[in-house]
A and B are shown apart, each in its own frame.
Chain A
Amino acid sequence: MNARLVRRLAGPAAAMALLGVVWLLVPARGEAAVEVIGMSLKEMLLVIPPIFVLLGLLDVWISREQLMRFMGGASGVRGTTIAFLMGSVAAGPLYAAFPVATVLMRKGASLFNVMVFIGAWSTTKVPMFLFEYAALGSMFAVTRLLANIPAILIMSAIIARVVSKEQYHELTG
């Protein structure tokens, strides 16, 4: 149990050590980093709880058979649309998408749909688009959105192609 705890804490400890070294060597940057870290922590604690609650509910209420029907290999356009919408309406940073992807994979979503979900979460999120629209203008934001949608589908198709069913199976346990 202790060895596990040590292993789990090794990453955060190393990151904190790096922060400490930066702070000692360049105090101004260290302080700036702490400010950013505080902001990110606040974002995490604010945005992430409902995502994990919904994730838990999905895990308990949606059976593997149901999810497979919705987003599995035979779910077709509907499954991909669901994946796209799920990713696009999401709130929160990309790293919050990975635990959701884990549950989707375990419950039998196809790799293609999981990748579409990750792609959508990373770039076609509605709130992000609104920020982009406001900051960089309509032409910029709309052009990027129109380029992103086919790109996500193509990249997901390539990944689904190069990863064999056995490899994907191993991953989902």
Chain B
Amino acid sequence: MFTIVFYVLAVVALLVSFGASREKTKKALMKALKAFQGILPEFVVVIVLAGVILAFLDPAAVSRVVGEESGFLGVLAAAVTGAVTLMPGFVAFPLAALIYQQGAGLVQIAAFVSSLMMVGVVTFPVERAVFGTRIALIRNSMAFVFSLAVAGVIAVVLGGSL
């Protein structure tokens, strides 16, 4: 759905741009292509690595490690799993719902989902290229700690066990 919105937006913007200046529109498209080409090798690395890691992720095993009673160690394991994996939201949330049904704790799932979204071990090379090693390291470490904090917040609000 949102992808369609983006396509509509891009097409309308392109038409407006084209109406205003053919030259600039051509330049914009060239820049888009160049930006994409520039980052494509990194994208391929990210996607292949993410696929390999995900192939070793077994939902049943995961639910056992991060069960309701797994406590802080379970939260930590969930956060680490989230940090090293990468998957689109339409895969991640159904997966989270699945491991929840199989006995994973909500507090642990909160840690997993949070670090999955904010911490990127696989995407680190791309991030480092843009922000430099220092900023990328600081951002990811803080995001990791924050994922644990979110698990704490969920434990307080939803009354799960930590």
Please give the residue numbers on chain A whose beta carbons come within 8 Å of chain B beta carbons, in ascending order.
8-9, 11-12, 14-16, 18-19, 22, 29-30, 32-37, 39-41, 43-44, 46-57, 59-61, 89, 91, 93-95, 98-99, 101-103, 105, 111, 115, 118-119, 122-123, 125-128, 131-132, 134-136, 139-140, 143-144, 147-148, 151, 155, 158-159, 162-163, 167, 171
Contact A98 B135 (CB under 8 A): no
B35-85 interface (Cβ within 8 A of A): 35-36, 38-39, 41-52, 54-56
Contact B158 A60 (CB under 8 A): no
Please give the residue numbers on chain B whose beta carbons come within 8 Å of chain A beta carbons, in ascending order.
1-3, 5-7, 9-10, 13-14, 17, 24-25, 27-33, 35-36, 38-39, 41-52, 54-56, 86-94, 96-97, 100, 106, 109-110, 113-114, 117-118, 120, 123, 125-127, 129-132, 134-135, 138-139, 142-143, 146, 149-150, 153-154, 157-158
Cβ-neighbour of B97 out of A11, A118, A135 (below 8 A) = A135
Grouping DSSP codes into helix (H, G, I), strand (E, B) and loop, the B interface class, with mixed when no group exceeds half, is helix
Contact B35 A15 (CB under 8 A): no
For the complex, what is the distance from the CA of A167 to the CA of B86, rounded to whole Å?
Answer: 30
CB-CB under 8 A from A19, the residues of chain B are 48, 51-52
Known: A11-B125, A37-B48, A56-B28. Contact between A61 and B39, CB under 8 A? Answer: no
Grouping DSSP codes into helix (H, G, I), strand (E, B) and loop, the A interface class, with mixed when no group exceeds half, is helix
Cβ-neighbour of A144 out of B13, B110, B129 (below 8 A) = B110
For the complex, what is the distance from the CA of A34 to the CA of B9, rounded to whole Å?
Answer: 32
Q: Which 4 A-B pairs have the closest CB atoms?
A: A56-B32, A37-B51, A50-B10, A135-B93
For the complex, what is the distance from the CA of A99 to the CA of B42, rounded to whole Å?
Answer: 11
CB-CB under 8 A from A143, the residues of chain B are 153-154, 157-158
CB-CB under 8 A from B120, the residues of chain A are 94-95
CB-CB under 8 A from B44, the residues of chain A are 11-12, 15
In whole Å, how far is A165's beta carbon from the nearest beta carbon of chain B?
13
Contact B35 A99 (CB under 8 A): yes
In whole Å, how far is A148's beta carbon from the nearest beta carbon of chain B?
8
In whole Å, how far is B77's beta carbon from the nearest beta carbon of chain A?
19
Cβ-neighbour of A33 out of B1, B55, B129, B131 (below 8 A) = B55
